[in-house]
């Protein structure tokens, strides 16, 4: 049985995943258009999104947590634009 991860920890982990996506080394050959690099970045950002997507629907989610989730969604979109299209 998997253990439940508290919302606050999910938020922290999501931000760590976004940071890992930013730090993923760009391959020398192929650069940002390398398919494995693109897949790696998108996978990390998807994991971050998956961690937080249900937080706003939980009964224990505070307004502050919901606001943090919104900020993380914005961070994910910004990271996606800067990393893959920047």
Q: Where are the domains of the chain?
A: 7-85
- How far apart (Å, rounded) are the C-alpha atoms in residues 54 and 61? 10
Helix (H, G, I), strand (E, B) or coil at 76: helix
> 31 falls in which pLDDT band (50, 70, 90)?
confident
Q: What share of the chain is helix, strand, coil (3-state, %, to 5)?
A: 75, 0, 25
The reported pTM is: 0.90
* Closest to 51 (Cα-Cα) out of 79, 80, 15, 2: 15
Positive or negative: CA dihedral 7, 47, 77, 59: negative
| pLDDT tens-digit map of 2-12 | 678 899 999 99
> 23 falls in which pLDDT band (50, 70, 90)?
very high
User: What is the DSSP secondary structure assignment for residue 32, as one 8-state letter?
Assistant: G
User: How many CA atoms are closer than 13 Å to the CA of 60, on its beta-carbon side?
Assistant: 3
């Amino acid at each position: 049985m998997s253990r439940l991860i508290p919302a606050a920890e999910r938020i922290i982990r999501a931000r760590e995943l976004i940071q890992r996506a930013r730090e993923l080394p760009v391959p020398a050959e192929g650069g940002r258009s390398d398919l494995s690099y693109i897949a790696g970045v998108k996978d990390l950002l998807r994991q971050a999104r998956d961690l937080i997507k249900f937080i706003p629907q939980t009964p224990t989610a505070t307004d502050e947590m919901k606001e943090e989730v919104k900020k993380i969604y914005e961070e994910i979109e910004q990271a996606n634009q800067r990393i893959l299209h920047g």
